[in-house]
Amino acid sequence: MKKVLITGAGSGFGKLFSFELAKRGYDVIAAVESPSQMRPLREEASKNNLSINVIKVDICDSADINYAIAQQADILVNNAGIGEGGALIDMPQTILRKQFEVNFFATTEVAKRFADSLIKRKSTGRIVFISSIGGLMTPELAGAYCASKHALEAVAESFKSELNNFGISVSTINPGPYLTGFNDRIMEASKNWSSLQENHVDHSDLTFDLPQYDENQDISAMCDVIIDSHAKFRNVFPEEFVEIIKTQQRQDWEK
């Protein structure tokens, strides 16, 4: 039975991936950021008759990363992440650095350590980066989040070429707007800092104004990607966003 390590499993996609893969019989290691998330996740899994190993892993904590890697999983789902919304021109540098610390530096560190462990164990495996359509396009007032995901796309591409000879496959999953609560939190994040300075952009009423899909809609298809070492490198969900992204990228050349 293959072990799957999923970071950021306390809510959203991480929790949904954990439950779906446990239903399929995988040995799921659900890594949550905070100790307060452990008991609720265990209880919810138990109510659904699912066996899941819940551990505490803050991906910005080196000791926590050590513990996660020591689980010797076969598949890493690099899902943990945060979203900082608001205009980049107004955003404090500390907030921008925090965005990159979690979504880029810490996420990359977990992937590096996981790959290193597989290579030293002489074992094949798989790394799946949960990116975003924001890694391929940049909606208004989401520049910090999208920049971190654009950077992560480059890491994933590099890992794919570097790890191929070691039998470690790499893919990205690029979700669109799903109703997990994450998109709304991105827009609300600027409330923590926007009132503390004179802004060039009005942040008083930021909302996520795109239609959002049911969070469960494509979980099964995403999990198919997670477990398939022969899956495509880039996997956009919902599928209709593939053409939306390609159209936007073509238009960017003509601006």
Q: List, by residue number, the catalytic residues.
A: 145
Asked if 70 and 49 touch (Cβ cutoff 8 Å), the reply is no
CB-side neighbour CA atoms (13 Å) of 241: 22
Is residue 52 within a helix (H) or strand (E), and if so which, with residue range?
A: strand 52-56
Q: How far apart are CA 189 and CA 20, in angstroms?
A: 29
| Cα–Cα dist 137/175, whole Å | 12
Strands (E), 176-241: 234-237
Helix (H) or strand (E) holding 76: strand 75-78
Contacts of 226 (CB under 8 A, 6+ apart): 4, 17, 21, 75, 77, 126, 128, 173
Contact between 13 and 237 (Cβ < 8 Å):
no
Residues 6+ apart with CB under 8 A from 128: 75, 76, 77, 78, 170, 171, 172, 173, 225, 226
Q: Report DSSP state, residue 34.
A: S
